[in-house]
Amino acid sequence: MSPSRFEPVRLEHASRLINHGPTVLVTSAHGGRRNLMAAAWSMPVEFTPPRIAVVIDKSTFTRELVSASGAFGLCLPGLALADLTYSVGQRSGRDGDKFERYGIEAVTGPVLGMPLVERGCAAWLECRLIPERHTEDAYDTCFAEVVAAAADPRIFANGHWLFDEDNADLQTIHHLGAGLFVRSAGAVQAQAL
């Protein structure tokens, strides 16, 4: 495995990793099994401590592993992983290890030991589930505290995104439906009026 290019993200900046609504890969592991799935709906819900929400359908293998372990990872795939992101969202992990099936290298999360994806991703967050049975059962929405975060400094450094022509393959993607994605690009710095 190649050495990591990722650098730690201060937890006070962790919400910035997903506040623009990118598609994420949700990683999970428990009892010697692991999985990853694509999710289009995630968002920050609190800054300190950093907390997030993500929709994980109760019928998925990922949800089963997350419920059993009390933890998961959120990895932010770049444009180069659009095909992979779509593909892992189309198959169940109950049919076999998607990491092996698609040749995905995983690193081990520093706090909870979750499998995390760096190659082709802009960033990751390692998360501890905050049990909220009502929202999980009624709305498939899982809440979690971010316990560690890291990003590729070519696209996220000093608490800020750096979208430019040189990092297009790492720019986060947004699912529009039916396998159609757009990438984050064309950032504009606003000025106070």
The full set of domains in the chain, from first to last, is 7-183 (2.30.110.10)
Paired strand residues for 26: 37, 74
Whether 114 and 126 have beta carbons less than 8 Å apart is answered as yes
How far is CA 48 from each of CA 44, 45, 70, 176, rounded to the nearest angstrom? 11, 10, 20, 31
- The structure tokens 């059993």 sit at 68
pLDDT attached to residue 187 = 81
pLDDT attached to residue 2 = 64
Mean pLDDT by 10 residues, the chain (193 residues): 85 96 98 97 95 97 98 98 96 94 97 98 98 97 98 97 94 95 88 94
Secondary structure string (H, E, C) spanning 141-161: EEEEEEEEEEECCCCEECCEE
The pair of structure tokens assigned to 90 is 């189309």
Q: Across the chain, which distance is largest between two alpha carbons, in Å?
A: 55
